[in-house]
Amino acid sequence: MGGGATRKTGSCCDLQKRHSGPDPESINADKDRLRLGGRSDNGNRTPHTKSRHSDKSQSLSMPVNSICHPELVSGSINAYRNNLRSIGRSDQLSRKTAFTMAEVLITLGIIGIVAAMTLPTVINRAQRKILTQQFKKSYATVQNAINLAQSEWGAPYECYWLKKSANAGYYLDQCSAFWDAFLKNVKIIQKCDGDDYDCHPKYKTKAEVLAEGGEVLNPSCSIDFPYANFYILNDGTYIIINNNNPGTSHHQIYFAIDINGSKGPNKWGYDLYYLTLNREDMKKDVIIANEVCAMKERDGMYINEMLLE
């Protein structure tokens, strides 16, 4: 119109066909040149280069496809968006699973508080377990020495508290002989006077134990060592016996054992026990017991409780 020449253009699909690649004749010509070793029709060698048609097709094929098929473009965009969303989710996940320095410090602080609260209990239980085993060992040593002394004598020495009998009470006539026989059946490495505190620990008195929340099995018991000698055995056990000036005192049937000597804690009912030579009836032998006098500090145990541990 208007006398001007109009330029006829093809559709986008025509453009795609026009630029999608070399025509068959060009491809055949290239193949012929390759068979001739790179020579042209006139015999001259031509350099081995890529076909200009292949470069052109590679450069034009994607834009033309994009123009002629917009759904490919929208599909690529959607895939790109989905990829971004996936990356975002993984990044958020990585941020959620990581811990900040403040969170780590708070966690360590909580662990420290819990440990501080529970560690003393765990240590006390472990220590009590050790003391229980040591007590049972010392108990067996002392009881075996008593049994051996009775066996050698042929009968129990009259040095005990008789519990169930018409004649219940103290029997003290043979206490001196009994303790002499007993001491021969244990391995003593040292003997100390009762007031020699360089040789043995000084234990709490009955009044001190009661003032600090402890208890005494029989409040009338004085639980002291007016005539005490300390005998240290080869395994570290202390045996405290009131045999220094026996006379007729009933203190002769009471004695104490410290199962680990000066190691501690040196507390009544823990590693220190006040005991009695007890005879249940006239048909039975003398055994260690806390039937008459016994004492324990707060949270301590009597020997019958220790034996059940």
pLDDT tens, 40-87? 445 455 444 444 444 444 444 444 444 455 554 555 667 666 766 666
pLDDT of residue 188: 96
Q: The domain containing residue 91 runs over which residues?
A: 12-97
Same domain, 57 and 189: no
Residue where a domain stops, chosen among 48, 78, 97: 97
Q: Are residues 165 and 55 in the same domain?
A: no
How far apart CA 210 and CA 75 sit, in angstroms, is: 90
d(CA 99, CA 29): 68
Q: Of 97, 119, 140, which one is at a domain's C-terminal end? A: 97
Asked whether residue 147 falls in the same domain as residue 44, the answer is no
- Answer with the one of 97, 112, 147 that is the final residue of a domain: 97
302/207 same-domain check:
yes
Q: Are residues 282 and 222 in the same domain?
A: yes
Quick one: CA dihedral 7, 10, 15, 17, positive or negative? negative
Same domain, 87 and 190: no
If one compares 151 and 29, the residue with the highest pLDDT of the two is 151
**250 shares a domain with 166:** yes
User: Is residue 278 in some structural domain?
Assistant: yes
Report yes or no on 179 lying in a domain: yes
Contact between 234 and 203 (Cβ < 8 Å): no
Q: Is residue 121 part of a domain?
A: no
pLDDT confidence of residue 49: 45
Q: Which candidate, 265, 9, 24, 231, places its Cα nearest to that of 141?
A: 231
Tokens 């119109």 locate to 1
pLDDT band at 6 (very low <50, low <70, confident <90, very high): very low
pLDDT value at position 23?
53
Give the C-alpha separation, 286 to 280, whole Å. 8
**In the prediction, which pLDDT does 95 show?**
56
Taking the whole predicted model, whether its pTM rises above 0.75 is answered as no
Interval 176-205: pLDDT, tens: 999 999 999 999 999 998 888 899 999 999
Cα separation of 215 and 295, whole Å? 6
* Strand spans (E) along 58-195: 160-162, 169-171, 188-193
Tell whether 187 and 276 lie within a shared domain.
yes
- Look at residue 93 and tell me whether its pLDDT is greater than 80: no
**Residue 1 domain flag:** no
Asked if the structure places residue 181 within a domain, the reply is yes
Residue 85 lies in a domain: yes
CA 114 – CA 95 distance, rounded (Å)? 29
Dmax over CA atoms of the chain, in Å, equals 156
Same domain, 70 and 212: no
274: its two tokens = 């006040």
In the prediction, which pLDDT does 97 show? 66
Please tell me the distance from the alpha carbon of residue 215 to that of residue 232, in angstroms, as a whole number.
Answer: 27
Could you give the number of structural domains in the chain? 2
Q: Specify whether 44 is located in the same domain as 90.
A: yes
Residue 161 CA to residue 168 CA, distance in Å, equals 7
Residues 72 and 140 in one domain: no
Q: How far apart are CA 254 and CA 246, in angstroms?
A: 11
Contacts of 242 (CB under 8 A, 6+ apart): 225, 226, 227, 228, 249, 251, 252, 254, 255
Instruction: Answer yes or no: is 110 within a domain.
Output: no
Q: What backbone phi and psi angles, to 5 degrees, belong to 306?
A: -65, -40
166-175 tens-digit pLDDT: 788 899 999 9
Residue 256 lies in a domain: yes
**Do 180 and 262 sit in the same domain of this protein?**
yes
